[in-house]
Amino acid sequence: MRTRTERIVSKNAAWQKFEVLKTNRNKRHRYRQFFVEGVRNINEAVRSGWQIDAWIYSFEKHVSGWAEDLLASVPVSVQYALSASLMSELSEKTDASELCAIVRMRDNDLLAAQTGDWQERPLLVLFDRPSNKGNLGTLIRSCDGLGVDQLVVTGHGVDRYDPEVIAASMGSFFRQPVLYLADNNTLCAWLGRVRQRWPDLQLIGTTAHREHPVDQADLARPTLFMLGSETDGLSRSLREQCTLMTTIPMHPDSAASSFNVSCAATVLLYEACRQRRTAQDKQAGTAYNKTV
């Protein structure tokens, strides 16, 4: 691929595109591109094989060896060289990023069909109508860290490609599959495919009210956690599909009645991982005893 370099010293059409990729959800999806900055996020995008369409840097500032290596080794169609003042205005960081990227979106339909890549007892998460960008990014990070096979985002909520979501994920955005299902019909079709393969899949809803304690639920089975939006909770239609409603027991003397949704999800997922490790250890121990 032959790379061209475009020098930008004033707010031209290319600059305006950078701005809309950062701020305009509809145009971002129309272009099928999104804006990324931060060393960890850029490294993970490259390492995970996401297509980089363009690099952005300042021609007036020295770039590090890290940035030089990426500019030289990762092929793009265009490199945008900005003045230092424009680079500072574009970057969201206090100290302007030395390198930003325009990255190509991935096909949502392909993500929906990737059930064959999941583990034997999949661990799945559904987040209904997320309204907070930081919460979604943090949840993506937790899902990545705790081995979730698929995170599904439903309904009209924040855009998973928003720069604030990506920044909050700390690189996990590019590792954790995030599937967007806009309406109940597509959600039901996806659930149907998953249930066909795993008939014993349990749908566990989460609530702040005193329901079944999460540590007393069997989470070693194929499990889909269903998380409600920060403002409205789990929708009625999703709640009716749940096989179990669970809660995180809080300290009786605590002023807190519940956790932030991303914190709650982290606790739930950790408990699922703990139970699965325990089950594997018991199974390994049983197999060992049989051979002795």
**Is residue 144 located within the same domain as residue 9?**
no
- Distance (Å, whole) CA 171 – CA 46: 11
Query: Which of 39, 70, 104 delimits the end of a domain?
Result: 104
What does the pLDDT read at residue 231? 75
Q: How many CA atoms lie within 13 A of 98 on its CB side?
A: 14
Taking the C-alpha atoms of residue 20 and residue 163, their distance in angstroms, rounded to an integer, is 11
Same domain, 173 and 60: no
Condensed to tens digits (0 to 9), the pLDDT of residues 124-150 reads: 999 999 999 999 999 999 999 999 999
Query: What span, in angstroms and rounded, lies between the C-alpha atoms of 48 and 245?
Result: 35
Instruction: Check whether residue 146 and residue 239 sit in a common domain.
Output: yes
CA atoms within 13 A on the CB side of 169: 28
Task: Say whether both 60 and 149 belong to one domain.
Answer: no
> What integer best gives the mean pLDDT of the chain?
89
User: Is 44's pLDDT higher than 90?
Assistant: yes
In a domain, 140, yes or no: yes
139 φψ region: left (φ > 0), alpha (ψ -120 to 50), beta (else): alpha
87 and 127 in a single domain? The answer is no
Tell whether 88 and 127 lie within a shared domain: no
CA dihedral 255, 261, 264, 269 (to 10 degrees): 180
Judgement on whether residues 123 and 256 belong to the same structural domain of the protein:
yes
Give whole-number Cα distances, 93 to 36, 68, 160, 260, in Å. Answer: 12, 20, 20, 26
pLDDT recorded at residue 288? 41
Distance between CA 222 and CA 213 in Å, rounded?
Answer: 18
Alpha-carbon distance of 208 to 140, in angstroms, equals 21
pLDDT per residue over 185-209, tens digit each? 889 889 998 998 899 999 999 876 6
pTM > 0.85: yes
Domain count of the chain?
Answer: 2
**pLDDT value at 155 more than 90:** no
110 pLDDT more than 70: no
Lowest-confidence segment of 64-68, 81-85, 165-169, 233-237 by average pLDDT:
233-237
- pLDDT on residue 285: 61
Quote the percentage of the chain above a pLDDT of 90.
Answer: 64
Same domain, 181 and 64: no
Output the domain CATH number for residue 26.
Answer: 3.30.1330.30
Contact call for residues 82 and 10 (beta carbons, < 8 A): no
In this structure, the answer to whether residues 188 and 212 fall within a common structural domain is yes
226 pairs with which residues across the strands?
126, 205
Per-residue confidence at 249, pLDDT binned at 50, 70, 90? Answer: confident
CB-based contacts of 289: which residues, under 8 Å, 6+ apart? none
Is 125 found in the same domain as 63?
no
289 in a structural domain: no
CB atoms within 10 A of CB 20: 15
For residues 246 and 140, membership in a common domain is answered with yes
Which among 51, 81, 104 is the end of a domain?
104
Q: Is the pLDDT of residue 292 over 60?
A: no
Range(s) of the domain holding residue 256: 108-283
End position of a domain, from candidates 62, 84, 104: 104
Q: How far is CA 220 from CA 1, 91, 126, 224, 282, in A?
A: 48, 44, 18, 11, 12
User: Is pLDDT of 290 > 90?
Assistant: no
- Provide the pLDDT for residue 286: 59
Q: Is the alpha carbon torsion for 100, 158, 155, 228 positive or negative?
A: positive
pLDDT at position 116 over 70 = no
Please report the pLDDT score of residue 26 as a whole number. 95
- Contact by Cβ (8 Å): 108, 207: no
Check whether residue 131 and residue 241 sit in a common domain: yes
Query: For residue 111, what are the contacts with CB-CB under 8 A and spacing of at least 6?
Result: 150, 177, 178, 179
